[in-house]
Amino acid sequence: MRSSLELRENGRDAVYQRGAVSMAYWIHIARSIDRVTLHKDRCSEVPSSSIGSSSDFWEGGWFDYPDKERALAAMEQAGTTEQRRCTLCKA
């Protein structure tokens, strides 16, 4: 039996240790208003169904990340002028 869990994230393999406590984060890219926002996993603004696959370049979309560092890196690469953190969940 392996001591880690292997998950697939955006076409890349990610390995998580058993018992490690981590919180998932979401980023919402809104290209129409040139903004990206960071949310915690349990924020009420995060949609209940996964809609990341239905997003496109011009409209943006919702994307989940297993940790805050990856979410912040994705925000940097989103190509928007404004980067902010959700005021509701205080991500």
Q: What pLDDT, on a 0 to 100 scale, did the predictor assign at position 65? A: 93
What are the helix (H) ranges across 1-91?
68-76
Q: What pLDDT, on a 0 to 100 scale, did the predictor assign at position 13? A: 43
Model-level pTM greater than 0.75? no
Closest CA to 46 of 65, 23, 66, 28: 28
Residue 43 near residue 87, CB atoms below 8 Å = no
Where along the chain do its domains lie?
Answer: 22-85
pLDDT tens track for 6-58: 334 444 444 444 445 567 999 999 988 999 999 998 898 888 765 554 555 56
CB-based burial label for 30 (10 Å; 0-12, 13-18, 19+): middle
Closest CA to 71 of 19, 7, 26, 36: 26
Confidence of residue 84 (pLDDT cuts 50, 70, 90): very high
